[in-house]
Amino acid sequence: MNQLTKKQTRFLLLNGWKGILGLTLFVIGIGVFLYQLQFIDLDEHFYLDKNSPLGKGEIQYVFPTSVSINEEVIYGYEYVFYSPIGDINWVSYQAGNYYDIGEKVDIQYNLKHPEINRIKGMSNTPESALNFSSIIIILTGLIILLINLYKGRKYLNIILKGELAQAKLVRVEDTLMEVNDQKVYKMYFKFKTANGKVYTSTVKTRETAKFRDERKEWLFYNKKNPNQSVLVDKLPGNLPNFIKKNWTTCLP
């Protein structure tokens, strides 16, 4: 069996669990963003600005929220707006307790849509809904996903367009880099193509042992450009074992 299953192809395309992690974070981030979106008053951002006309309103109720910014509690201010189309009840938010029940306040509103309004200097969106946690999760997941999609696609193309060969370890260099207090090494492997030419394949890794566990390492190289190659043991998950066991051309 010298081909990958659809499941294995998708797994490789994502570069294994690293890409799956990125995809998971991206999906979770989108979910958190959509959840936060329901608490965001988008109308005020599109229809209100510093030049919006002012009307009058009155505070009906003041309540603290469970959110604080710089140790200052966010308060909600329920109010009635005496608008040109009649009384409108709504709520705005701000850090700190600045108004009392019954106090008069200025209300910003949209001239064509008075139902879109807020207390001047405040927001109709709780500060907790404006945090950037979801954006950070989305961007982190997207970056991880794109990096590993790039790697996975490169590996997949080499496998689909390439041939297997055996490579011999010829040199190991200390890169002077560390990841999680483990040294990263650059390992050099020599391999010979079907036409007898010799090329070099390299890998940077902290796990040098898995590239030393065989007398020679298997790799795929692009037949049209043998400088493009990937060591089988560099592939994610159980793919190295599967390829060594099932690909007929892997037999010594």
Percent of the chain exceeding pLDDT 90 equals 65
pLDDT at 251: 46
Rounded to an integer, the average pLDDT of 112-129 is: 86
pLDDT at 127: 64
Q: How far apart are CA 167 and CA 103, in angstroms?
A: 81
Which residue spans of the chain are classified as CATH 2.40.50? 45-124
- Which one has a higher pLDDT value, 153 or 130? 153
Residue type, 88: I
Count CB atoms within 10 A of the CB of residue 140.
15
Rounded to an integer, the average pLDDT of 116-137 is: 81
Secondary structure tally for the chain: helices H, strands E: 5, 10
Residue 21 tokens read as 């992690």
Q: How far apart are CA 171 and CA 169, in angstroms?
A: 6
User: Strands 86-95, 72-83: parallel, antiparallel or unpaired by DSSP?
Assistant: antiparallel
pLDDT at 69: 78
pLDDT at 90: 95
From the centroid of its chain, how far is CA 247? 35
Per-residue confidence at 130, pLDDT binned at 50, 70, 90?
low
**49-74 pLDDT, tens per residue?**
989 999 999 999 999 988 887 788 88
What architecture does CATH give domain 45-124? Beta Barrel (2.40)
pLDDT over threshold 50, residue 193? yes
- Which one has a higher pLDDT value, 251 or 247? 247
pTM across the whole model:
0.75
pLDDT at 179: 86
**21-41 pLDDT, tens per residue?**
999 999 999 998 888 887 788
Rounded to an integer, the average pLDDT of 83-93 is: 95
Q: Which of 155-159, 161-165, 199-203 has the lowest mean pLDDT?
A: 161-165
Rounded to an integer, the average pLDDT of 213-225 is: 89
Measured CA to CA in angstroms, residue 182 lies from 164, 170, 176, 178 at distances of: 31, 22, 10, 5
Tokens 């298997």 -> residue: 218
**96-110 pLDDT, tens per residue?**
888 999 999 999 999
Backbone angles phi and psi of 152, in degrees to 5? -60, -40
Strands (E), 1-142: 54-69, 72-83, 86-95, 104-109, 117-119
Q: How far apart are CA 128 and CA 150, in angstroms?
A: 35
